[in-house]
Chain A
Amino acid sequence: MRELQLPSYKEQSQKVKERFDRIKQRELILKVERLSKTFDSEKGPVLDNISFQTYRREFVSIIGPSGCGKSTMIRLIAGLEDIDSGKIIVNNKEISGPGIERGMVFQGYTLFPWLTVVENVMYGLLRKKMLRTEAKNCALNWVKIVGLEKYQDAYPSQLSGGMKQRVAIARSIATHPKMLLMDEPFSALDPQTRSKMQAYLLEIWKNVNISITFITHDIDEAIYLSDRIIVLKTDPGEIQEIIEVPVPRPRTPEQFLSPEFLATKKRLEELIHPKKDDDEVNHIIIPPDINENVL
């Protein structure tokens, strides 16, 4: 990759530039201000002085090495952890605890195992005091949108991992939240299902008015899906850079090899896996006697 002549990841085509201009004119959905979080005071803060914002219908990924606090960040935004200092403002209101304007899809499959597919999707609607028959119709519609009408009365234990996550997505957007938080939702899936689910998510997102904040540790996934990528670093957990992805939409898997894609990927690799002198791989030398035994 180093020999390849790549453009800068900061170079944007006219079309991409215009898209970002349009996005920035939309209203703010999420505003994170000087957010800090410490679990263990001896180890220092997990997140330190984080500030960023996302706009309506924007797809933002948060990426970083393991232990950079990206999961903590999304749990803070979801209201599942208490904030130490700073503010999280969603839809012009400071959050305190979980709220219906923020849907969440978890890494593990969190479908309720005693409810059928359609009952799972109904769950949030019933909490909104919607009538049962009305909620059922609405939920059936969502089940159809995610292509699981055949499985509407199946129980979660009868579904594959990809199907479960599709139900989870339907369940969390059925209540029309302003934003969808996704915590490594596809990392437990096999590579094939995973790329299918990515295309699927883009398809749903195109048709629903929702901002997505997506946690991942997969660089390709982040570039393929996002408008912007927030890169975190460890010790302390701070924002290294916010990258505007120069790859035009609509996204297709062929773009994985486009120059803009590769340039962005190269930059992300540098940020997440910085080259150090002691990182050089030592050549493993197998003594000849062992080698003979093996052969």
Chain B
Amino acid sequence: MSSNNRMFDIRKPLSKKHKHRLIVLSFIIPLLLWFAVSNLPFLWHPMVKITDTGSVAYFKKEMLIKKEVFKIENERMKSRGLKLAQGEPSNPIYLPAPQDVVTSLYKAFTTPPRRTGEPWLHESLFHSIKIIFWGFFLSSMIGVPLGILCGTFSFFKHLTEPFIEFFRYLPAPVFGALAVAILGINDGPKIAIIIIGTFFQQVLVISNTTRNIDVSLIEAAQTLGAKRWATLRTIIIPGILPYIYKDMRILLGWAWTYLVVAEVIGTSTGITWFINQQAKYRNFEYVYASILIIGIVGLLSDQILAYLGNKLFYWQHLQQDKKENERTTTTKLQRAKSKS
């Protein structure tokens, strides 16, 4: 069997080299597509950017005109024997080229805001991260312990989960007006929206994770003399900790989605304000740059958390590593065999 065929083996892991190449490709493919659409004039480009206005009265240099309109105007000029307008094919303003977005990603941090008193990009970003942090932190302070209690004692499960099931179907944004009325127009209501959006899911997810612990571990502890609280403290909590950690990573991702809603409540702030402001100025490359920053911050923080998780819960991965080593050695052996 050739190594090309092995790339498409059903449910077989790939070699590290192939895996890394594919990871890089997963980013390069969409980027290349974007690059092609932006830079190859025969791909899409439904607009014309005026380079010479000719005799068309309302054309201006650098103006973007629909291709059809440009054609009609030029035909009219031609029939009247006037000077034709010149232009090059272009994409609409809302699709800047990737190279422009990358330069504005840099410029956004170095150019001062258009109006004095407006926050810089990094200030907006920091404000957003602050809102997320407080919302997620406060929600977790109550949500995680309550979830563990619900997953451990039926008493807490029946006491709280029915109401939480009901409440989690209420979309967090509908509490926006109420939050402003109670907490004012500053950061209070924004943090509240993140909490409302996170907390109820959090309790249910954590409680479910807690319930998934291997019952025989609890029974083993009980036969070793562990009483109720000792079981909770020494078996249930350490046993579910790595899974709760994973849940928290996913929940943090959800908190980011609530951020955008939260930031338009009361006075608009943070990265959402920055994006809206730039869209108003029609600086779409800045809009893309800010969106990209959210993606980068999200991905980076998740990767850091994943790395920390592997360090913290290394006892989970000992066997898996061994297995993977075995697998790669067997594939190496197979390859050596197929070569000879």
Contact = CB atoms under 8 A, between A and B. Distances in A.
Nearest to B220: A110
A2 interface: no
Interface of B is mostly: helix
A157 B315 contact: yes
B315 A124 contact: no
Contacts of A79: 222-223
A100 interface: yes
A102 B318 CA distance: 32
A194 B221 CA distance: 25
Interface residues on B, range: 20 to 34
Interface residues on A, range: 20 to 34
Contacts of B313: 114
B235 interface: yes
B33 interface: no
A103 interface: yes
B217 interface: yes
A158 B224 CA distance: 23
Nearest to A113: B315
Nearest to B231: A127
B39 interface: no
A171 interface: yes
Interface string A76-107: 00111000000000000000011110111010
B234 interface: yes
Contact of B316 (A78, A99, A157): A157
Contacts of B322: 158
B222 A80 contact: yes
A205 interface: no
Contacts of B224: 100, 103, 123-124, 127, 171-172, 175
Interface in B213-244: 214, 216-217, 219-227, 230, 234-235, 238-239, 241
A112 B237 CA distance: 12
Nearest to B315: A155
A181 B227 CA distance: 19
A3 B319 CA distance: 51
Interface of B: 214, 216-217, 219-227, 230, 234-235, 238-239, 241, 313, 315-316, 318-319, 322
Given A98-B223, A106-B219, 20 more contacts: A98-B222, A100-B224, A102-B223, A103-B223, A104-B220, A104-B223, A110-B220, A112-B238, A112-B239, A113-B239, A114-B239, A123-B234, A127-B226, A157-B315, A157-B316, A157-B318, A158-B319, A171-B224, A172-B223, A181-B223
